[in-house]
């Protein structure tokens, strides 16, 4: 996996219709009926379009919303927050920095002990890399996240 993350036209052409609607048209998938909302395997979640690392399972929790939810991004520089008033209320949209994919939204009602944020993401915007496949998939640098009790990436 290259560290040159970008919006990849070839990856976009391979997206399912739902992945395209979510990532390219800022749609939202159905709750409780998506691939990762209840995934408890250890691993890394990356942008389905660019491959940039976004979230780790060590920061995932069950928010009861039916979408994969995290307390923080694994690489804050890969996540961009944008004001969104599309539904007549002000929310904070989360997009990938390099792939410019719509990922979901962040709210300030997450677990207080973990920083108070709730990153509520769409499974359709993510690709999951199992912990045991990190090296093979080119994400070996993230292995330490699963060995550190704080879930922080080790240099």
Could you give the CA distance from residue 102 to residue 60 in angstroms, rounded to a whole number?
A: 19
Catalytic residue of the set 15, 58, 120, 134? 120
Is residue 20 annotated as a catalytic residue, yes or no? no
Contact by Cβ (8 Å): 131, 117: no
Q: Are 122 and 29 in contact (CB under 8 A)?
A: yes
Strands 43-47, 126-130: parallel, antiparallel or unpaired by DSSP? antiparallel
Query: Which one, of 153, 133, 127, 150, lies nearest residue 8 by Cα?
Result: 127
- The torsion region of residue 32 among left (phi > 0), alpha (psi -120 to 50) and beta comes to left
Question: How many helices (H) does the chain have, and how many strands (E)?
Answer: 3, 9
Structure tokens at 19: 């992945």
Q: Which residues are catalytic?
A: 120
């Amino acid at each position: 996996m290259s560290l040159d993350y970008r919006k990849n036209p070839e990856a976009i052409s391979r997206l399912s219709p739902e992945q395209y609607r979510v990532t390219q048209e800022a749609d939202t998938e159905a709750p409780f009926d998506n691939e990762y909302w209840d995934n408890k395997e250890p691993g890394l979640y990356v942008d389905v379009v660019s491959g940039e690392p976004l979230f780790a399972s060590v920061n995932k929790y069950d928010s009861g919303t039916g979408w994969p939810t995290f307390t923080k991004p694994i690489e804050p520089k890969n996540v961009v927050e944008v004001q969104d008033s599309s539904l007549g209320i002000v929310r904070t949209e989360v997009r990938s920095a390099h792939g410019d994919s719509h990922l979901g939204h962040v709210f300030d009602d997450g677990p207080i002990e973990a920083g108070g944020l709730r990153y509520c993401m769409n499974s359709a915007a993510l690709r999951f890399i199992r912990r045991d496949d990190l090296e093979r998939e080119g994400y070996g640098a993230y292995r330490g996240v699963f060995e550190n009790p704080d879930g922080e990436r080790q240099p």
